[in-house]
Structure 1
Amino acid sequence: MTYESEIRAQGTEPVEMGLDGETLGGKQQMSRKRRNIVLALIAAVLVAIAAYFLMAGDDAPAEQAPQLQAVTVVAPGRTTVEGEITATGTLAARRSMPVGVVGEGGRVVSVPVDAGSWVRQGQVLAVIDRSVQSQQAQSAAAQIQVAQADANLAQANLDRALQLVERGFVSKADVDRLTATRDAAVARVRVAQAQSRELQARNARLNIVAPAAGLILERNVEPGQTVSGGSPPLFTIAKGGEMEMLAQLGETELASIRAGASAEVTPVGSDQSFTGQVWQVAPTIDPQTRQGTARVALSYRPELKPGGFASATINSGTVVAPVLPESAILDDDGQPYVYLVDSENKVARRDVETGMITSAGLTITEGLTGSERVVLRAGGFLREGQEVAPKLQKNAN
Structure 2
Amino acid sequence: MNKPENPEEFTRAEGLFKRAADAGGRALQTAKGAGENAWRRAAGDPDDPSHRRRVLTMLGIGIVAVIAVMFVLSRLGGDGAVHTPVSTAQAVSVITTAERPFHATISLNGEARPVRDIQVSAPATGVRILQLLVDEGEYVREGQPMARLDTNLAQAQTRAAQASVAEAESTSVRARGEYERAESIRDSGALSTEAIETRRSAAIAADARLAAARAQLQEVNARLGGGYVRAPAAGLVIDRTAEVGRDVAGQILFRIAAGNDLEVAAQVAEGEALALTQGQTATFSLVDGTTVEGRLRRLPASIDSRTRTGEALFQLPRETRVRAGMYLRGEAQLAERSVLAVPQSSILYDNGQAYVFVLDQENNVHRTNIALGARDGDWVEIVSGLELNQRIVGAGAAFLQDGDEVRPLADPTPAATTAPADQSGENNSGELRGREG
In the alignment, structure 2 segments of 5+ residues that lack a partner are 1-18, 26-71, 419-425, 428-437
1:307 aligns with 2:335: no
- Residue 51 and residue 127 in structure 1: after superposition, are their counterparts in 2 closer, same or farther (change >3 A)? same
Deviation by residue 1:276-334 (Cα, 9 ceiling, x = unmatched): 315142635375xx364413232344422222222232457765333322333345774
Aligned to 1:97: 118
Equivalent AA in structure 2 for residue 199 of structure 1 = L
Equivalent AA in structure 1 for residue 314 of structure 2 = A
Instruction: Give the C-alpha shift of residue 351 in structure 1.
Output: 2.4
Instruction: Give the C-alpha shift of residue 106 in structure 1.
Output: 1.0
Aligned to 1:275: 294
Aligned to 2:220: 202
Equivalent AA in structure 2 for residue 240 of structure 1 = G
- Residue 233 and residue 278 in structure 1: after superposition, are their counterparts in 2 closer, same or farther (change >3 A)? same
Aligned to 1:125: 146
Higher-Rg structure is 1
- Residue 239 and residue 162 in structure 1: after superposition, are their counterparts in 2 closer, same or farther (change >3 A)? closer
Aligned to 1:34: none
Instruction: Give the C-alpha shift of residue 186 in structure 1.
Output: 7.9
In the alignment, structure 1 segments of 5+ residues that lack a partner are 1-45
Among candidates 375, 378, 383, match of residue 365 of structure 1: 383
Instruction: Give the C-alpha shift of residue 377 in structure 1.
Output: 1.8
Kept after mapping to 2: 8 A contact 1:254/1:294:
no
Kept after mapping to 1: 8 A contact 2:108/2:268:
yes
Aligned to 1:243: 262
Counterpart CA distance in 2 for 1:367 and 1:187 is 76
Counterpart CA distance in 2 for 1:162 and 1:350 is 97
Aligned to 1:22: none
Instruction: Give the C-alpha shift of residue 92 in structure 1.
Output: 2.0
Question: What's the Cα RMSD here?
Answer: 4.6
Aligned to 2:395: 377
Counterpart CA distance in 1 for 2:383 and 2:172 is 86
Equivalent AA in structure 2 for residue 61 of structure 1 = A
- Aligned positions of 1:57-206 closer than 5 A: 57=77, 61-62=81-82, 64-66=83-85, 72-134=93-155, 137-138=158-159, 140-141=161-162, 172-173=190-191, 184=202, 188=206, 191-192=209-210, 194-206=212-224
Counterpart CA distance in 2 for 1:380 and 1:153 is 97
Counterpart CA distance in 2 for 1:317 and 1:58 is 67
72-81 or 180-189, which deviates more: 180-189
Q: Number of aligned residue pairs: give it.
A: 341
Q: Secondary structure at the match of 1:173?
A: coil
| Higher helix proportion (structure 1 or 2) | 2
- Residue 49 and residue 244 in structure 1: after superposition, are their counterparts in 2 closer, same or farther (change >3 A)? same
Instruction: Give the C-alpha shift of residue 115 in structure 1.
Output: 1.9
Kept after mapping to 2: 8 A contact 1:264/1:312:
yes
Deviation by residue 1:190-243 (Cα, 9 ceiling, x = unmatched): 6345424412321321233333333221111134332123xx211112233332
TM-score using structure 2 length: 0.60
Deviation by residue 1:4-57 (Cα, 9 ceiling, x = unmatched): xxxxxxxxxxxxxxxxxxxxxxxxxxxxxxxxxxxxxxxxxx999439998983
TM-score using structure 1 length: 0.65
1:295 aligns with 2:306: no
